[in-house]
Structures are given as C-alpha cells and as structure tokens.
A and B are shown apart, each in its own frame.
Chain A
Amino acid sequence: MNAAKDLALSRDAVADPEVKAANARAATPRRKAPAAGPAPQVAGRPKFHESARAQVAGTATYVDDIPEIRGTLHAAPILSTVAHGRLLGVDAAAALAMPGVRAVILARDIPGDPMLGNFAHDEPVLAQDTVQHIGQVIGVVVADSVMQARRAARQVVCHIEALPAILDVHDALQAQSYVLPPVFVKRGDAAQALKNAAHVMHGTLEVGGQEHFYLEGQVAYVLPQEQNQWLVYSSTQHPGEVQHWVAHALGIDNHALRVECRRMGGGFGGKETQAGHLAVWSAIAAHKLHRPVKLRLDRDDDFMITGKRHSFAYDYTVGFDDGGRITGLKLMMAVNCGFSADLSGPVADRAVFHADNAYFLEDVEIASYRCKTHMQSNTAFRGFGGPQGMIVIETILGDIARQLGLDPLDVRRRNLYGIEKRNVTHYQMKVEDNILDQLLSKLELTAQYRRRREAISAWNAGSPVIKRGMALTPVKFGISFTATLFNQAGALVHVYTDGSVQVNHGGTEMGQGLNTKVAQIVADELGVAFEQVLATASDTGKIPNASATAASAGTDLNARAAQYAARNVRDNLAQFVAGLDGCDAGAVRFAGGEVLTPGSARPFTEVVKLAHANRIQLWSDGFYRTPKIHYDKATLTGRPFYYFAYGAACTEVAIDTLTGESRVLKVDILHDVGTSINPAIDIGQIEGGFVQGMGWLTTEQLVWNDKGLLTTHAPSTYKIPATGDVPEHFKIELWPEPNREDNVFGSKAVGEPPLMLAISVYEALRDAIASARGGKKGVRLTAPATAENVLNSLRA
C-alpha cells in the first residue's frame, strides 16, 4: 500500500539526525497537520468532568480505595516532639510489644541514600541524629491494621536533647539562618529614585502561610514485585519524582519502579514533593518486611508533617509622585522556608518575579532571603510565591492611595504596565500580551465600581458599627515553570481496533479537569465523540521523566503533547485513506466520527479496522516543549514565562468594628483564560481558586506555640472557607480573546492565577478599616485578616 510505504519513508526521515533536530527545534509533530483542520466539536464546550459520574456514585478510586493485596501492612509515623534537638536514641520496645505490630522502621533501615533524592539534597529521609521540627518523621511503625500502627507509634519513646530553635522568620533573618543564599534583583537606581521622590513611605507587612487541606490526605501504597521491582500507588502531582526518590532510597534503578496515580483528592501543590516522602517511607518498610505497605496519614499528622504555603515578612520603602505613581521601591522579603530547601528557592524566585504584579517598577531593588526555621519545610502551594509577591505591591498601592486621598483603583491604573513604553519587567522580560487596561476598564464598568464606591462611602457615614469596603485588583501571572527544563511533556494516544481511543500523558489529575481537557483536545483531533476517548491513570511506565503537574501548565503541556500524539495517528490514517481514495492526505478530514475525503465518508471505526488490517500504526507518542523561554538563574533575568494570564476582581466586604468579624458581600471577576477548552471547568478553577485565596487571607490561620508546636492541626482548629463564606453575588466572566501566543486551542493556563484575585478581599478589608478609622494614614493589617487581626488593625 502506498500509505504504508509513505509511512516507512517518514520513519526514515525521522531517523535522519537533521530532521530530528529540526523537529526538536520546532517542537511540532512529526508531520504537518492537514491545512484544513477539523472545526472543534468537543473542545470549547462545558463537558462534564470525565470522572464526575463515578465521583458522585462513590466509585471513583483513590489510593486508599484500591483493594488491598493479601499481606498488606499499615504504617504510621513516629514524630519528633521537639522543634530542634539531638536525637539520642529511640526506644521502641513498648510499641513492638503491642498487638499486631510487625516492625519499627528507622533511618538505619534505609537501603540506599539516607538523604532524600531531591534537588537540594538537604533533607534526611528519616531523622537520624538531629530533629529539626515538631512533627519531623523519625520512623514508622508497621502493623496489621491502621489503628494498631497509630496506637503503637505514640508508644515509641524518642530521647531528644533540646537545642535552641528558630521559630520566627525575623529571628532567622537576624541569625542569617538560610536554607539557600539570598537573591537580589535590581533595576535602575532605587536609592536615588527614593531620594528624588515627592513622597516616601516606609512599611512592613506579615503574611501567614496556608495549609493545603486537600480533602484526601497524603497516602502511598507500595507493593514489592518480582526481582526487586516495585509498584507504587501514590497520590502525587509528580509520579516521576516519586519514582526517582524511591529508587534513590532503595538504591535501585528507576526502571525497576513503576508509579501510578489515577487521581488525587486534591493537590494544590501539596502533593508536588510532599507525596514522595510517604512513598519512600512505605517503600523502606516494604523493603525490610517483604510485604506490601500502605501509609495513610491521619489528618492531624498530615498537618504536623507536611509543608505549607510559605509565610512572608516584608519591609519596604517606596517613593511616589503626587498622582500615586511609584517612582522607586526597595523591597525586602523574608521567606519562612522551614527546616529544608524543598521548593523554597523557586517559590521565593516566583515571589520576586511577581512583586510587580501588574505594575511597572522602574527603579527597584528586591532582596529575597530564604530563611531556615525549625518548622515544617514549606512547599509548593497554588500560586507558588506569586501570591506573596503580589500582595505586598497591592498593599503598597492601597496605602499610597490612602495617603494621597486618591481612589486606590486610580492609583493602581496609573501604575499599570504600558503597551509601547513602561512594558519591561524588573527581570527584563517584555510584556507583550498586556490587556490590563482594557480588562480593568471593563470590570470597573460591569461591577459598577464608581457608583458603588460612592454608595458605600455614603452608607458608611451613617453606619456606626458595620463598615463596608471595596477593592478592584488585577492579576498578571507568568505561565511556565521557571525551571525551564520542566516545560516539556509527553503523551501517548492509542486507537484500538474498535475505534475507541485511550490517551495517556505525563500530567496528573487532581480535580482540575486536566484529563477532561486532554480528552476533549484528542477527540477533536480525531474527529470522534468525547465519550470515545478515555484518559487513564498517570503511569511512569507509560510516560517517563514527566514534570510535575504544577505551575498551572498541566494543560498547556500535556494537552499539546496529546494533541501531537493524536495528530500523528490521524496523519497515519489520513495517508492511508488518501491512498484508498487517491486524494491528497491534506484533503482528508476527521469530524463527527467520520473520516471524510472529497469523494467519500467512512465511519472512523471502519477506517481504524481497515487500517489495522493494512498494518498502519494506530498509536503514537507526542512530545511538546514550550518555546521562547529562557532565563539566567543567577540574575533572575530573561524570559521565564511563555505568556501572562490576566484577571481582575472587584470585591465588597463588610467588617464589624466591635469584633473585627468580616463578611464578603459581593464579588465580580473578569478573568482571562484565552479561548476556553472547557468553560465550566475554567469557571470552576476561577471560583475555587478565588475562594481558596480568600481563605488564605481571612480565616485560615496557622498558629504555632512558643515551643514550635503547630496548634492548628485539623479542621476543628484550622478553618478553610465553608458554604456560608461564599457570597450569593459571585459573578465570573471570561475575557473574550485567544491567547496571543500559540498555545493549545488558544487557551491560557488557569490553575493558579485566580487564587490571587482574592487579594481584592484583603484590600477591600483594608478599605473598610480605613473607612472606620478615617484620616489619610495607611492600614497595617496582618494576613490572614482574622477577626482579631482586623480588630487590631482598627485599634492600631
């Protein structure tokens, strides 16, 4: 057959090193897509989440739901009760004597490297001679049942000689206690600009961390296989990293280990690195006992052990003109990283990158200190430092407006990036896709900002106890992993002889709808129904070396890779059908479950069967790497981001000046997702991200006592938003413009950016506080704005 011959030729072409290099440069599929691509039938529609029906029926499987293999044992962690100390010994006799207990696993049981195989290599798998936070895992107890293991873990006595502990980021700064060296970014001459400024303001700010509170706690299930091979079920955003860490700890090759994750019950960044620890601990136990071992953390233990969003402390001096435009800024960020580096470097970097948010900072100096404290090692959390970068500049602009007696929105707009001028970030990236001005104008209008601002002022004047406040704040969020190497993805598309399609990619499903979007893209590529495409579990045996599903880039990377894989299969089929009909392959179209040539229409299923009979390859890989990005790690300059996602929120709140309690009354959001692959899922991301951000800034307070014990370690004490916290007026509108960069379906990433829309809640609260206090002074409000912090701010 001609088609087969063509295919063979094309295989040869791919083997040619030059062609290979060209393909890699262009990061395009092996062959050009037909000029007349199919009109999308599936993408762009609000398809239900691919697992929705299973989820509502209770049949969607999470790691702890997998039927246990006979002989499975259960592990529970032994935790340090001291924030910093010398670990002198562990007495496990009492625990070992308890019913059902099989073993106590300590650092000495690690067959490979006792240090975790992560990037910084600064974290012991299990504490050995020192402990560095309350909740650090010293070992695990393994028993026949979960409760037996948990009961016994409490009976293990750890002899620890306490050492001085650093429990406050300011103390760490003072002591120059760092997990990584400080980073300084500057442009222009901030000192001179401050000298010349018409107005200068100095301030400090404290912003708390945040617990992920994924509803499914951390869990791993490790099964020894034949010949020192391993199967790991992990609730992880990064199966490849889990594979790498476990292999490193066991001292085996990566190929002997398969990690699978069908779905997570929420991730939010909390399962990017933190899931790996559990897999490693379980694997060490499974290795020692030659039994399957599962470790599912009790919620309280999960809080005590795992890292959280980094809390930040800031110190700034800002110069500005009479109109509120910033002319110079010196900003210090002290990042509370906890006891090890984990992802703190890139998190702190992203905070530096986003200290501008939507605003042009001409003469600026930013110092970022990555402080080491004896606390949980803080980690990725939706926004990844972006929120902490943005909130400080929004705080500054809010106070500039108050000091000058101007409307904060006017001051914000005066500082926005320009189109022709004032369009280069402090890290030397040109902002090419700026829609901030139009976007803010539109929201200002639809939310009736000006009218309501007046109404609120008038109302406040007559209201002695309740004060309302409002703020409209923008978001400009850079999309791409700042570590350039992570911006790659692979996928496999299999078409079976019955015409059903299976797609697999390196991303993971944590509820964000990645599998749904990928399936939509693949369905359109092959012109089949959405229901015909099945996305299956993430599996390191299928897609190797995959990046974490993080940085909002899951769809950008994986849907594109899957699209390319599907396109390869489609091209094979097009060539084949063109051969049958004697037409050009480019004239073959795939739509509505049919394969169409100028002279014929065949059902897709029939074409597939026929193609298989003619030995045409019905499956393919796809590979994508993000173009254009590069940056210098030392100076933090370059183009770290492929594009920016934009959005803005207008939020109205009320505070009670007797108690400091607050309520969010009204929220209007206008957000840019490019051309939406699935509007229902995107709106879900926007709403969910906003509410999560609102929690970070209002009720979600993490409290450690003076011994370094986290005293908010369960939902009884740590309060994420509940149904009653969401205002009835909660309107989301999507910005009607495709991504200006060439991205899958013209879409933009949506996972993280909306979280930062919630800064409007914080700014609205400060507006209400200012209204209660009167005068032209700034409002110092420690985040989260709990009732107590609001009352303190009112009294300050």
Chain B
Amino acid sequence: MTLPSAVQNPVETIQFVRRGEVVTLGNVPPDRTLLEVLREDLACTGTKEGCGEGDCGACTVVLGEAEGDAIRYRAINSCIRLAHSIDGMALWTVEDIASADGPLHPAQEAMVQCHGSQCGFCTPGFVMSLFGMYQNHVSKGEPITRALAQEELSGNLCRCTGYRPILDAAQKMGELPPVAVDEPALLQKLQQLAPTASGLEADFSYQSPRTLAGLLKARAAHPGAQLVAGCTDVGLWVTKLHQQFEQVLDVTRVKELRRIENYPQHLAIGAAVPLADAYAALEADRPQLHNFAARFAGLPVRNAGTLGGNVANGSPIGDSMPLLIALGANVVLMSVRGHREMPLEQLYTGYRKNVMAADEVLAWIKVPKPTALENFRVYKISKRYDDDISAVCLAVNLQIENGVVQTASVGAGGVAATPVRALKTEAALKGQPWTLATVQQAIATLRAEFSPISDMRASAAYRVEVLGNLLQRYWLESQGMRQINLASFTLEETA
C-alpha cells in the first residue's frame, strides 16, 4: 500500500453549484458524507438526519447534472452520499429553493397549505422530494397523480401525518404560481466546473475517472481502493460500521458506463446507470415490471444506487438479481487485461463473495430482449409493500409453446447465501406440459431446492412455503385469472 494520498496531498477540493454560486470546499476526507458537510462544515442544518442509512428520507437533497442542454434533477439521500461524489454538480437543499425573504417555493407553499408538516422533522426531506417532482414533472407540464406521488415519495417516512396531506401537497404544487430554475445560467456555471482533467489526479484519495480506460487503469493501480457507485450500501459501511476509506474509486462518472445501449437482441446497461434509469429501460421492454421497479427501495435510493452496484454487491436479498437471472442476463467484467462475460448467477461464489479479480470491475449488464413466447413475472414479498427489502423474491420466465414449457428460467432471492438460479425447478418444468400437475411437481421441487434462514424478515418455513405459493400464483396468472395479486389489485374493479 502506498501512503494514504490525503497525507501526500491534503488538498481535497470539491466544487459544486449552490444558490447560483460555485461552492469550493477543501480538505474534505474521502469518506465524509454530504450530510456531514452540510450540517457540520457549512452549518446548514435545514437538512436532517433521521436514520443515517437512506431509509427515512429526512436528509433528501436534490442534485442537478447537465445532460445535453438540460438539467437532470435527482432527489438523493445525503446521509449516505459521499460528499466528493457531487463534485461538478448543482445542489439544492431545503434552504435553497426559496429566498429567505421571498415567497416560498410551490413545493413548500403546498406543504403549508395542505397542513403537510406536523413535527416538521421529515419535512425538509419531503420538500426536496417534492422539489425533485416539481422539476421533473410539474415544470414540464406533467400532472402529478396520486399514484405518482405515492411512488415518488415512498422513500420519505413521516410518523405524524399519515401522509394524506403530503400526497395532497404533491398534487397541489401545480396549482400554485410557477417557479423556474434558471437553467441556462446554471448550465453555464456547471460548464465552468466541467472537469478539465481525467478525474485521475494522482494524489487524490477520491478518484472519479471520466473514461472506462481511466477507470480500469486506476483500478489496476489501486486494487485496495474502495470501489463505489451510488454508495447506497457502502454509505452504510461508513455511517453504521464506522469504516474509514483511505482511497475511494468512484465509477459513476465513467461516461461509457452511464449509457444504456439498445441492441436488437439485448439491452446493455452500463454499471454506473442509476437504478431508476435502468429499471425504466427494463420496463420499456417489459411493462409488467413497473410495480416491482417502483417497490425497489425509495426513489432517492433508486436515483443514487446503480444496477451495477446492486449486482456487484451481491446481497442475497438484492432485488435485481433474481429478476436478471430469470431474464438470462450476463455480466461483463473488465480490467486492463481484457474482458470476460458470464451468466449473472456465476458471478457469485458465496455470501457477498464473487469471482472478480482485484483489478476487475463490473462494466456491463446485458439483458436479453423479450421474445414472443415469453411469459415473465417477478414477485416480491416484504413486510411493507414499498421501500422494503424482500423476505422472498421469485422471478419466473417460461416460454410455452403448444402447451409445453420450452424454456424455464427461474431466479430466487432470500433463499440462499447468494441470489440463485433454481436449476432443479427449471428442470422440473422444462419440456413438461404446462399443466397443474407439472406446476405442483415444480412447486414441490422449488420448496425442496433451498434451505433459507430464519431472520427478522421471515422464518425459514414461511420463505419455503411462500416460494412455492408464488409459483402457484404464476400458474394461476398464466390461466388468465385476474385480481389474485395485491400488487395490482384495485377496489374499483370489485364494485
């Protein structure tokens, strides 16, 4: 190991645009969070810490990035965001969207008028999520429906109001006198901050390479550096496990890895693509994924976390992997030595362990396009419907022709030390007639295939039973039964 670069060169500068001005901060350690910078270094205490793990949303702020000649707005959790990662971006906190002596922003005024704040501690986070919605929807003339408000606010917890007034506020913003961000001026400021270098200044302890080649080179040179993407998991290692990093290598600025490429046979999703964008792309091909996608954490996590991070992290209860396994996704690993491609499930060797070499990074996830015969479903069981981690997740992808299962691809989460492919279950289905008898056999096989653990999310017995029942649901749905899934259940249709 070389000496910590912070020691070699203490100047660790971050620059971002706030309130129309460039803010420059020096001497920021690589593992300092954005929330710490705001509250402790800048004495801006409007942004609150509720949980320190990206689950309550009290710390929500909005980031802006130039995308062509527009600004892309993303609400994120500042408590688990490393401060250096916002270098070159625009930042808004609850203190920034209205001038101190002027009128409130519609996101704020609507909250007042709808009685959306009681204790007020979650309020700054809600206001910023609302501000994100305002920029992404209201300012573009898109109405905010109640369903959209629920989805985009599911990552913000409130313990006082019961949410109704906040959902009302989301819908009311559009009725108030509009307020616009001066985007041309902001773009100009952001242009000033655009990196002149590669993001690989040798002495920096926080490196954000701008190119894939740069990333691979940096990875080879610093195999001990902590690799991060959206930091929605690594951030917790800092806040909860108190880990300190001497060097951080951030993949999210690598331009190649921020792309989603649409090929005739597959989608190639760069490892630095935020979950929200990745799922939007997956959803474009398979609309039935919408509910599942909206239930993946809350929007601030989906805006920050990346699909590549979720996959590389390899949590047994990460929701992307069962889905991707069932879709037959491959991952592409790259290093200065070259690249290799493998089925996603072969990435994992044990609990949070994988085959990646010290100089390798996960670069691409390749997801096959849907076929005409494909019948794909994914099911998630959690204590809370939204923004919760799966107790069990099951993704089933069958191609059935002439009443016979031609191909079977089944991914499962929450049942083993890694996300897994249910090989035995697939074998029990493949080549069989698509009948109740086959399904019953497959259910028995699926229940016997894994030995899940009991923990705070569910008992082993529950996981095993429900795994089989979810396959049963798949069967029932394939038979055209409706109103058998609460995820899509609506009361209107029952009237």
Contacts and interface: CB of A to CB of B under 8 A. Distances in A.
Interface of A: 46, 48-49, 51-62, 64-65, 67, 145, 147, 150-151, 154, 212-217, 263-268, 298-300, 455, 459, 463-466, 468, 510-513, 652, 654, 656, 658-663, 665-666, 680-681, 683-684, 687-692, 699, 701, 703, 711-712, 714-717, 719-726, 728-730, 786-788, 791-792
B170 to A, nearest CB: 9
Given A658-B472, A714-B55, A717-B456, A266 B383 contact: no
A510 B120 CA distance: 9
A145 B40 CA distance: 10
Interface stretch (B108-116, B219-227, B255-263, B338-346): B108-116
B477 to A, nearest CB: 10
Nearest to A266: B119
Interface string B242-256: 100000000000000
B118 A684 contact: yes
A499 B156 CA distance: 41
Contacts of B485: 465-466, 656
Contact of B94 (A58, A300, A692): A58
Given A57-B108, A730-B164, A715 B157 contact: yes
Nearest to A151: B242
Interface string B29-62: 0000000100110011111111111011010000
B22 interface: no
A418 B120 CA distance: 42
B470 interface: yes
B387 A213 contact: no
Given A56-B94, A58-B46, A60-B120, A215 B384 contact: no
Interface of B: 36, 39-40, 43-53, 55-56, 58, 93-95, 98, 104, 107-109, 111-113, 115-124, 127, 146, 149-151, 153-154, 156-167, 239-240, 242, 298, 381-389, 391, 455-459, 462, 465-466, 469-470, 472-473, 476, 481, 483-486, 489, 491, 494-495
B77 to A, nearest CB: 11
A299 B159 contact: no
A62 B111 CA distance: 19
A399 B421 CA distance: 44
Contacts of B157: 213, 215, 715, 720, 722
A508 B294 CA distance: 38
Contacts of A463: 483-484
Given A151-B242, A711-B455, A659 B466 contact: yes
A46 B165 CA distance: 13
B300 to A, nearest CB: 13
A716 B383 contact: no
B156 A723 contact: yes
Contacts of A266: 119, 121, 159-160
A171 to B, nearest CB: 20
B386 A213 contact: no
A5 to B, nearest CB: 48
A688 B161 contact: yes
B456 A687 contact: no
Contact of B466 (A147, A217, A791): A791
24 contacts: A51-B117, A53-B112, A56-B111, A56-B116, A57-B95, A217-B50, A265-B119, A265-B121, A265-B122, A266-B121, A299-B53, A511-B160, A658-B473, A661-B486, A687-B161, A687-B162, A711-B455, A720-B157, A720-B384, A722-B386, A726-B164, A728-B146, A787-B466, A788-B458
Nearest to B495: A455
B124 A58 contact: yes
Contact of A51 (B49, B52, B120, B164): B120
A659 B160 contact: no
Closest 6 CB pairs of A and B: A58-B46, A511-B119, A265-B121, A55-B120, A691-B162, A58-B94
Given A58-B47, A59-B95, A724-B385, 10 more contacts: A147-B36, A216-B121, A465-B473, A466-B489, A654-B486, A656-B485, A660-B466, A691-B163, A711-B455, A717-B456
B118 A688 contact: yes
Contacts of A46: 115
B7 to A, nearest CB: 14
A666 to B, nearest CB: 7
B51 A714 contact: yes
Contact of A56 (B40, B127, B150, B165): B127
A666 B384 CA distance: 18
B305 to A, nearest CB: 14
A652 B495 CA distance: 13
A715 B162 contact: no
B395 to A, nearest CB: 15
A678 to B, nearest CB: 9
B483 A466 contact: yes
Contacts of A658: 466, 469-470, 472-473, 484
A95 to B, nearest CB: 12
A721 B384 CA distance: 7
Contacts of B43: 67
Contacts of B122: 215, 265
A275 to B, nearest CB: 14
Given A468-B494, A687-B164, A715-B157, A663 B455 contact: no
Contacts of B455: 711
Given A57-B108, A714-B53, A725-B385, A215 B115 contact: no
A214 B491 contact: no
Given A658-B473, A703-B456, A663 B240 contact: no
A726 B164 CA distance: 7
A154 to B, nearest CB: 6
Contact of A464 (B384, B389, B484): B484
Contact of B159 (A56, A150, A659, A720): A720
B117 A216 contact: no
A99 to B, nearest CB: 11
A259 B486 CA distance: 50
A793 B351 CA distance: 33
A59 to B, nearest CB: 7
B345 to A, nearest CB: 25
Given A511-B119, A665-B491, A723 B163 contact: yes
Contacts of B387: 722
Given A466-B489, A699-B384, A786-B383, A724 B154 contact: yes
A666 B486 CA distance: 14
B167 A723 contact: yes
A213 B298 CA distance: 18
Contacts of B494: 455, 459, 468
Contacts of B159: 212-215, 266, 268, 688, 692, 720
B486 A715 contact: no
Contact of A154 (B104, B118, B242, B383): B242
Contacts of B462: 660, 787-788, 791-792
